Amino acid sequence: MARTILWRLLYALPIAFGVSLVCFMLVYIAPGDPLQTVLPPDANAEMIEIVKRAYGFDKPLPVQFAQWLWRAAHGDFGLSVATRRPVSLEVGGALANTMVLAVFAVPLSFAVGAGLGTLAGCAPPGRLGRTLDRLVTGTAVMGVSVPNYWLGLVLVIVFAVELSWLPASGMGMGGSDGFSVLRWADLHYLVLPVVTLALVPVGIIARSTRAAVLEVRGQDFVTTLRAKGLTELAVVRHVLKNAAPGMLAVMGLQFGYLMGGSILVEPVFAWPGSGTLLGRAIVNRDVPVLQGAILSLALIFVATNLAVDLLQAAMDPRVRRA
């Protein structure tokens, strides 16, 4: 077990290194002089000097990368071209807001998806089974086909514009700083973005759950459990326990989707998270912010995958050997 963890960690390190390298290169694939790319347009001579020294543009690329990595490891991604604030502050605040969405959307999506999938997988064959089957397949296909930002827009049109039940955008009266998940009024602002993000992967999670449940149900030990006279509910419990590691892998992937999905969904709701930050960075051609935000999101994704793998290994003895 310890060996598995060690191997997995050793594998994640070069990946994280490679991800950092790709993010570092973003400044260099941007058209024009890299110095101009990371400099506010009205920078004075003193500032140019500071930035030049920090990035080491006169040194060879590997040295620049080492310098950049060293600074990034200490949370220094340079200054935002647009606001002149440190990138780390901008990204930090935005990530916190994105996390608020994820904390609600991930469990919601998994609960609904896994529930629906289990139901479809355990339903007796017949009318109900077929209906659930079609429901799961249909939501899965729609989920992978729908542009999530458009789904958000439609939800806004229905619930904010037409019905006026929920606010269309923002984080409430207090904005990002005054937001509290404990305040009833603020929670209203959370509903539409969270539902939008959660809705898309529901079908996929349901479909994989159903497949996992069906596969386990087909195995011999389930027949044995039935033969031993266990109630159907107890059998389902055993089935779920065995299907869990497979479902976990799917959920890990879907978490990645949620991180990426927020990029397009947040701007629709003017939710001041990393997605909106990225959108603004793109409009302002603010490459340092782009770089910082992408690197943070990608590293979170790498870490999530690592955690899922380790969790899977802990749950399923068969995975450990791989």
Partner 1 sequence: MNSQTLALPAAAPVRLPPRPGYWGMVGGRLRRDPVTVVFCLLMLAIVLAAVFAPLISPFDPYKESIIFRLKPFGYRGHPLGTDELGRDILARILYGGRSALLMGVGPVVFAGLVGGSLGVLAGYAGGWVGTLVMRTMDVFYAFPSVLLAVAISGAMGGGMLNGMIALALVFIPAVCRVAETATTQVRGLDFVEAARATGAGHLMIVRHHLLGNVLAPVLVYASSLVSVSILLASGLSFLGLGVRPPVPDWGLMLSTLRQAIYVQPWVCAVPGAAIFVTSMCFNLVSDGLRSAMDVRLR
- Bridge partners (DSSP) of residue 79 are 86
User: Considering only 66-74, 188-196, 234-242, 297-305, which stretch makes contact with partner 1 by CB under 8 A?
Assistant: 297-305
Coil, strand or helix at 86 = strand
Q: Does 150 bind partner 1 (CB under 8 A)?
A: yes
Q: Does 146 bind partner 1 (CB under 8 A)?
A: yes
CA count, 13 A, side-chain hemisphere, 226: 9
Q: Tokens at residue 307, please?
A: 């955690």
Asked if 15 touches partner 1 (CB under 8 A), the answer is yes
Q: Least distance to partner 1 from the beta carbon of 160, Å?
A: 8
Residue 294 interacting with partner 1 (CB under 8 A) = yes
Q: Which residues, in sequence order, are CB contacts of 183 under 8 Å at separation 6+?
A: 172
Number of residues that bind partner 1 (CB under 8 A): 53
Q: Of 1, 13, 141, 307, which lies in the binding site for partner 1, with binding defined by CB under 8 A?
A: 141
Contact 289, 82 (CB under 8 A): yes
User: Is 97 one of the binding residues for partner 1 (CB under 8 A)?
Assistant: no
Q: DSSP letters of 2-26?
A: HHHHHHHHHHHHHHHHHHHHHHHHH
4, 5, 8, 19: which one binds partner 1 (CB under 8 A): 19
How far is the C-alpha of 317 from the C-alpha of 232, rounded, in Å?
Answer: 26
Residues in the chain, total: 322
User: Contact 322/120 with Cβ under 8 angstroms?
Assistant: no
How far apart CA 44 and CA 40 sit, in angstroms, is 9
Task: Compose the 176-215 pattern: x for residues touching partner 1 by CB under 8 A, - for all others.
Answer: ----------------------------------------
Q: Does 305 bind partner 1 (CB under 8 A)?
A: yes
What 3-state class would DSSP assign to 59? coil
Binding of partner 1 by 238 (CB under 8 A): no
Using rule CB under 8 A, residue 22 touches partner 1: yes
- Nearer to partner 1 by Cβ, of 240 and 275: the residue is 275
At 292, list the tokens: 């910082």
Residues that bind partner 1 (CB under 8 A): 14-16, 18-19, 21-23, 26-27, 29-31, 141-142, 144-147, 149-151, 153-154, 156-157, 161-162, 168, 256-257, 259-261, 263-264, 267-268, 278-279, 281-283, 285, 287, 290-291, 294, 297-298, 301-302, 305
